């Protein structure tokens, strides 16, 4: 008699289910017959402009100069020199006074969120999330058995009055709202940025109800046109009641799997106590410290901001020329994603028709808790960051062809 795996599964494994290409930004399908498919569904950095040579040099420096330390176990909070550099960099960028004990290094932003959940969530705690939001975030939170409550966002991000209502409803039902998770800058998938007045309102509301704000700043440095987003909630709150996530995955390369959490020292200490994976890769930590210490990170980010700014301009021009009657959008000021509303047809119809034109994009349903019954039937996410300028010109043409066929 065979053993049934279901007899051994944890509640998390039953609840969460398998991950998808949307979570990982890879593995999308396109009709095999198309000679030149364009994949515009996964948010990854421009693969033609990765700093591969500088990374190779940094790895070589580490292995030549300090192979012993870089090839043994590291501490649970990460390599101290890298934590020093991250703290110093955030101090310069945000006017803070952090030191290494305010920083813990993780395997990308997803590793950061997982560790936060281990330290601060109990099963059944209520977590308020954006609707729509990145599907990988909801998988992580569901895996920690959180009770997730979606709050709508508009062109300016989270609607604070809805958060207030969600907190009141939960407290009336005898539940504890433990956390609000949000991406305030160039949100995934919508590209929206939370204005400063809403950030302050959210800080005051969460402080009143003792709710932890988890501020995911994955895309915050990738702004175009010399127009940075408002100060982080970590800055506005002086780090009280806010944990800020940062990552090198989007500003350098997703394959590095390196991110950090900055927070008050007692919060970082608590995260270290519930970390059981022996820390992130020491050789990767050492390499990043060498790369940042050599002064190559800042020029690379500035270069990529110019590239992404040119890409979004090219995409918008192509859409305006080819799809103007059929789409409605607000142009994002940074990040990797372009969110548009389809006029007269559903987003699923557009995604399916675009696939026949050799264009892979993502329907809005992928970014809500109930993907099958989402009320949003009209939006599409387009990831432009890894598309060439020629492809971005083609996207408008192919989408226009798809719309024209649907409207016949």
Residue 304 has pLDDT above 60, yes or no: yes
Residue pLDDT, tens place only, 223-260: 998 899 999 999 999 999 999 999 999 999 999 899 99
User: Both tokens of residue 297?
Assistant: 């990170």
Q: Please, where are the H alpha helices in 17-145?
A: 21-24, 52-65, 67-70, 80-94, 108-120, 135-143
pLDDT, one tens digit per residue, over 101-132 is: 999 999 989 999 999 999 999 999 999 999 99
If you average pLDDT over residues 145-150, what whole number do you get? 96
Please write the tens of the pLDDT for every residue from 189-228. Answer: 999 999 999 999 999 999 999 999 999 999 999 999 889 9
Instruction: Read off the pLDDT of residues 1-21 as tens digits, 9 standing for 90 and up.
Output: 578 888 888 888 888 866 655
Query: Higher confidence at residue 283 or residue 25?
Result: 283
Give CA–CA dist 356/364, Å, rounded: 19
Residue labelled with tokens 């005051």: 204
| Reported CATH class of domain 52-296 | alpha beta
**Topology of the domain comprising 7-51+299-407:** 3.90.1150
pTM of the model: 0.94
Radius of gyration, alpha carbons of the chain: 22
- The domain spans of the chain are 7-51+299-407, 52-296
Q: With beta carbons less than 8 A apart as the criterion, state whether 110 and 143 touch.
A: no
């Amino acid at each position: 008699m065979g053993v049934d795996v279901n007899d051994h599964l944890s509640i998390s494994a039953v609840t969460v289910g398998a991950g998808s290409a949307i979570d990982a930004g890879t593995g999308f399908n396109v009709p095999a017959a198309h000679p030149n498919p364009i994949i515009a569904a996964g948010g990854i950095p421009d693969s033609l402009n990765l700093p591969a040579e500088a990374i190779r040099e940094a790895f070589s420096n580490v292995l030549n100069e300090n192979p012993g330390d870089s090839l043994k176990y590291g501490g649970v909070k990460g390599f101290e020199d890298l934590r020093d550099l991250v703290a110093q960099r955030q101090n310069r960028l945000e006017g803070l006074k952090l030191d290494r004990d305010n920083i813990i290094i993780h395997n990308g932003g997803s590793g950061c969120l997982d560790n936060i959940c281990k330290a601060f969530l109990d099963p059944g705690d209520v977590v308020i999330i954006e609707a729509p939001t990145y599907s990988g975030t909801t998988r992580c939170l569901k895996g920690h058995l959180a009770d997730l409550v979606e709050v709508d966002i508009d062109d300016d991000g989270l609607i604070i009055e809805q958060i207030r209502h969600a907190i009141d409803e939960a407290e009336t039902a005898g539940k504890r709202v433990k956390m609000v998770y949000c991406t305030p800058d160039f949100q995934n998938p919508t590209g929206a940025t939370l204005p400063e007045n809403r950030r302050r309102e959210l800080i005051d509301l969460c402080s009143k109800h003792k709710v932890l704000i988890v501020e995911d700043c994955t895309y915050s440095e990738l702004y175009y046109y010399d127009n940075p987003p408002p100060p982080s909630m970590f800055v506005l709150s002086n780090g009280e009641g806010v944990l800020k996530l940062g990552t090198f995955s989007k500003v350098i390369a997703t394959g590095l799997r390196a991110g950090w959490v900055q927070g008050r020292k007692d919060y970082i200490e608590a995260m270290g106590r519930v970390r059981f994976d022996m820390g992130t890769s020491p050789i990767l930590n050492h390499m990043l410290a060498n790369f940042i210490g050599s002064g190559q990170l800042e020029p690379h980010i500035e270069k990529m901001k110019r590239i992404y700014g040119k890409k979004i301009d090219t995409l918008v021009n192509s859409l305006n020329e080819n799809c103007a009657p059929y789409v409605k959008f607000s142009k994002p000021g940074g990040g990797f994603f372009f969110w548009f509303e389809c006029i007269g047809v559903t987003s699923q119809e557009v995604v399916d028709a675009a696939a026949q034109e050799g264009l892979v994009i993502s329907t809005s349903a992928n970014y809500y808790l109930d993907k099958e019954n989402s009320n949003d039937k009209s939006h599409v996410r387009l990831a432009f960051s890894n598309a060439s300028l020629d492809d971005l010109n083609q996207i408008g043409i192919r989408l226009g062809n798809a719309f024209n066929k649907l409207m016949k």
